[in-house]
Structure formats: C-alpha cells, structure tokens
Amino acid sequence: MKRLSMPLVLMLATALLCASCLGSSEEEYTYYDDTAITAFSLGTLNRYTYVTKSDGTDSIAKTTVTGSNYKFYIDQQQRRIYNPDSLPVGTDAEKVVCTITAKNAGTVLLKHPDKDSVAYYTSTDSIDFTRPRTLIVYSQSGRTFREYTVNVNVHQQEADEMVWDTRSADEATTAWQQYGQPLLSLIPDWSQEQLDSDAALLPTEDVSACRYTLRTNADVERIVVVGNRSLTDFPDDSLAVVWSKLVENDEHSHDHQWIYLSTTGNRFPLPRMKSLTVAYYDDCLLATGLLDDGTVSPIYVSRDGGNVWRKDDNYPLPSNINGSDNENLTPYESVKLFADDDNRLWIVVNDQAAWCGRINRLGWK
C-alpha cells in the first residue's frame, strides 16, 4: 500500500484539476465533480474461538467468516459506513481485505490512523479495522472530495450464551413482587372455568402460570398453567399436568375453554417436580423445580406451547446454584422462576438466594 503525505495529496488533486481544464483539439473528456462511496463489503476473515477438547483441555480453533454476508450501511449525510449486524465474537478485524466502490470512478484513499498521511486503496491490501478508519474519496475532476468513517463492528459476547450473576434477597423480593407474583392471578378458580377434559386432571399443588402473546396474532394471548396432582389421590403420578387457554383481546373476542395437554404418546412430557415453576422467556416456555435430593432441576424447554419438554443446554442453571461436588448442600425447600421486562431470567431458592441471568443477544440494543 503506497503512502502519501496529505500536502502531496493536495498537490496531486490540484494537478488533476488543471489537467481536466486543458482541452484537446482532437478529443474532449468529461471529468465529474460529484463523488461518493457507493458500496463497501468485506472479504473472508479469520475467526478464533476457544473450544474444549475431549480430554477436557482448552484449545483455540481457527475458522473463517464470509464477510460479504454482513451488509454495510453507508450513511451519506453523516459520512459513516458500518455493519449493523456485528461480526461473530472472535473475528479478527486486524487484517481485512475489502471491496470499495466509488461513484464516477473516484479515487479512494485510506488515512493513517496515527499520522498525517494517506495511502491509495487497493482491493488486495489488508486493512486494520480494529478501530475506526477514515476513507477519503476524490472526484474525477479533483475539485471535490468526501471523508467517511468506517466502523467494522465485532461482537464482544457469544450471542446465545446465558450469563448469570447473584442478587441479594432484597433485590429478588422486589423483582418477584413486580414480575412473578402478579402471574399467580392467572391461576383460575377452576370451578368457574370451562374445561375440555376431566377435572380430575387439574393440578392441585406446586401450581405455576405464565402468559405470552402469540407470534401469529398480536391480539391473542396464551395462558399456561403447570402443576402436580396430589400423591395422596394419585400415588403413581410421575408427570406434571399442563393446561392452556387462549385469551382474545379484540372487540370480537369470545371466551375459550381450558385445554388439557395430554401426555399419552408424548415421548417428552414435563416430569413431576416439587415446587414446579414455569416462565416464558426467549419465545419459549421454561420450567424447573426441585429434584428428590432437594437440588434444582435442569431447565426444561417447550417451544410448542407446553406439549413437548426437553432439557436444553442453551438455558443452563447458574453454575453454583446446586453447590460444588465437595459441598454438602442443604436441600432446598422452594424455587421460583420468572422473567422481567429487561429480558432477564430470575431464579430464587428458599426466597433468599437469587440469580439473575440473560442471554447475551437479548441484551443487545
């Protein structure tokens, strides 16, 4: 990449201007005054990520990212070029080949980030985009130029990673009162409700509820109630019971009956757990409870409204919620799971210990 000082660039621009004014008796050329950068894209970039090998040791894996898959916006008024969809975490933006198109075949220069010099842009030279860079494009006539600031955005977090931190009992109480407790009002007086199945299938203990708006209809919500039946009356129960109901919120709405989600033939039902609790988070239902040894169960996920429930590594528990391998954990008596308006998920045990977590991408603005 050939570098030029800024005074020299001005002299070259002046020379180009003078040359454009000299006529020829045989042939005339038109040199345009207007100029702009009209397209910007990246080539292939390297990406480095940490991976855990089968023997438990960590290593660094090198892969590639197709930069052309990430669209760059060009704000002609603010003279900014940037990618709203950031490149994946671990992408190396230090040596990047890019393609730049200028209007009317203008000349593109790259300004040095620390010195008063510029270099001619070529599509084969790699550029360091780990910090904002300035591009200068001159018109054919040399009379005008524009400067653009280029930002190549790279995520600093894994998009689907759930990050937990501990919270105080007071914070947990406040959050529960604001976001969790109001959901208890969704649990109906079943004697006043229309049911599609036998009332003997209704939950009578460890009952929890949540509601959410359907993605297919913004005027319709679904209420989901989960819970257990009494082991005194149903000693063979090993599964939870799940009921749901649609609620219409438009002027032509009508009352729907409660639907029992049968476990017959279901390979992945929700298991019975003490202190069963459910929440709606990240466009799916999450449920947990206490196992027989008093520890918190892995989170079960349902993406179909409460029929099929699977454990999902995308929603891990806080690493220290069940203590360490060498710790004699006192069995928990209760657990609560709920979400707040800031896309955060809360887990509270024994109304004392609390964790608040969020999937990284749900916190990006």
Give the C-alpha distances (Å, rounded to integers) separating 242 from 188, 247, 267: 14, 17, 15
The tens digit of pLDDT for each residue in 52-95 reads: 777 778 888 999 999 999 999 999 999 999 999 999 999 999 99
Closest to 197 (Cα-Cα) out of 139, 263, 290: 263
The tens digit of pLDDT for each residue in 227-273 reads: 999 999 999 999 999 999 999 988 788 889 999 999 999 999 999 99
With a cut of 70, say whether residue 15 has pLDDT above it: no
Report DSSP letters for 319-355, one per residue. Answer: TTTT--TT--PPPPS-EEEEE-TTS-EEEEETTTEEE
User: How much is the pLDDT for 31?
Assistant: 75
With a cut of 90, say whether residue 101 has pLDDT above it: yes
The tens digit of pLDDT for each residue in 292-340 reads: 999 999 999 999 999 999 999 999 999 999 976 556 678 999 999 999 9
- Provide the whole-model pTM: 0.75
Token pair listed for 202: 């209704």
Closest to 358 (Cα-Cα) out of 347, 348, 346, 344: 344
Mean pLDDT, to the nearest integer, of 261-288? 97
Closest to 287 (Cα-Cα) out of 329, 231, 242, 332: 242
Compute the distance between CA of residue 130 and CA of residue 9 in angstroms, rounded to an integer: 25
Would you place residue 25 in the very low, low, confident or very high pLDDT band (cuts 50, 70, 90)? very low
User: How much is the pLDDT for 327?
Assistant: 61
User: How much is the pLDDT for 24?
Assistant: 47
Compute the distance between CA of residue 230 and CA of residue 146 in angstroms, rounded to an integer: 75
User: How much is the pLDDT for 52?
Assistant: 76
Would you place residue 276 in the very low, low, confident or very high pLDDT band (cuts 50, 70, 90)? very high
The tens digit of pLDDT for each residue in 102-141 reads: 999 999 999 999 988 999 999 999 999 999 999 999 998 8
Compute the distance between CA of residue 309 and CA of residue 323 in angstroms, rounded to an integer: 25
Token pair listed for 78: 């603010």
Mean pLDDT, to the nearest integer, of 138-162? 93
User: How much is the pLDDT for 50?
Assistant: 84
Residue 197: phi and psi, rounded to 5, are: -140, 180
Percent of the chain with pLDDT over 90: 78
User: How much is the pLDDT for 6?
Assistant: 55
How many CB atoms lie under 10 A from the CB of residue 351?
A: 14
- C-beta of residue 155 within 8 angstroms of C-beta of residue 88: yes
> What's the chain's average pLDDT?
90
Closest to 135 (Cα-Cα) out of 164, 159, 109: 109
- C-beta of residue 288 within 8 angstroms of C-beta of residue 335: yes
With a cut of 90, say whether residue 5 has pLDDT above it: no
Mean pLDDT, to the nearest integer, of 340-364? 94
Residue 21: phi and psi, rounded to 5, are: -90, -15
Would you place residue 197 in the very low, low, confident or very high pLDDT band (cuts 50, 70, 90)? very high
Would you call 240 exposed, middle or buried from its count of C-beta atoms within 10 A (0-12, 13-18, 19+)? buried
